[in-house]
Copies of this chain bind each other. A is one copy, B any other.
Amino acid sequence: MSPRNEEQNMQIKDERREQILSAALKVFAKKGFAASKISDIVAAAGVSHGLFYHYFKSKEEVFYELLKQAITSSTQAILMVNNMPISPLEKVRQTAKYILGGIESFEDSAYYFLIVIHAFVMDAPAEIKALTENPNLQIFSKIVRDGQQTGEFREGDPDGMTMTFFAAIQGLAMYKLALQNFQMPDPEILVDMLRKA
């Protein structure tokens, strides 16, 4: 009855989707949403123009999808660090090392940070802006409060401190992808933003 069995079709579908998403991640990160053409993405993915629309409804849908991936993957990373049996200071240190290391080695995380940046500066509908208000910040904010209680961290608004921490990381990710030969700084600099003097 069926020419290819369902399982095989699923596998092809997943592969192609992944192929297109991976190419789109790099293109969007480099050029931003508006400047990225479908032709750029399909060329990078090595598929035809029509196939893009076979797997995705629109350019927007792909961007949303990548943005969601960016949020969830970074949330998982934070959760992992947060569940370690270590002090708040050490949690922050591990977070900084982990993220900066990922960006330094040009893993996908570097591109994901750029996607988030583009989403931020995109004049997007509220739907997208809502995605950027991820739970990471709340988890991290809690870590900061804990660190303030143990006396490891400086006084001040935990949310503001959290935002500044991630602002620095996003800025560094931007530099990394924009400037060739940019070397990521010592993660300890970020730790010291929060540490008590």
Contact = CB atoms under 8 A, between A and B. Distances in A.
Interface in A118-153: 118, 120-123, 129, 132-133
Interface string A89-119: 0000000000000000000000000100110
A59 interface: no
Contacts of A182: 163
A109 B21 CA distance: 36
Given A118-B121, A120-B175, 16 more contacts: A31-B34, A32-B32, A32-B122, A32-B123, A35-B123, A114-B121, A117-B174, A154-B189, A156-B188, A160-B183, A161-B189, A164-B168, A167-B170, A167-B175, A169-B171, A170-B171
Contacts of A132: 178
Interface in A46-91: none
Contact of A123 (B30, B122, B170, B174): B30
Contact of A164 (B33, B34, B185): B185
A192 interface: yes
Contacts of A118: 32, 121
Interface in A166-197: 166-172, 174-175, 177-179, 182-186, 188-190, 192-195, 197
A157 B175 contact: no
9 contacts: A32-B118, A33-B35, A120-B178, A154-B192, A161-B189, A164-B189, A167-B169, A168-B171, A170-B174
A172 B178 contact: no
Nearest to A132: B178
Contacts of A197: 192, 195, 197
Contact of A175 (B32, B163, B179): B163
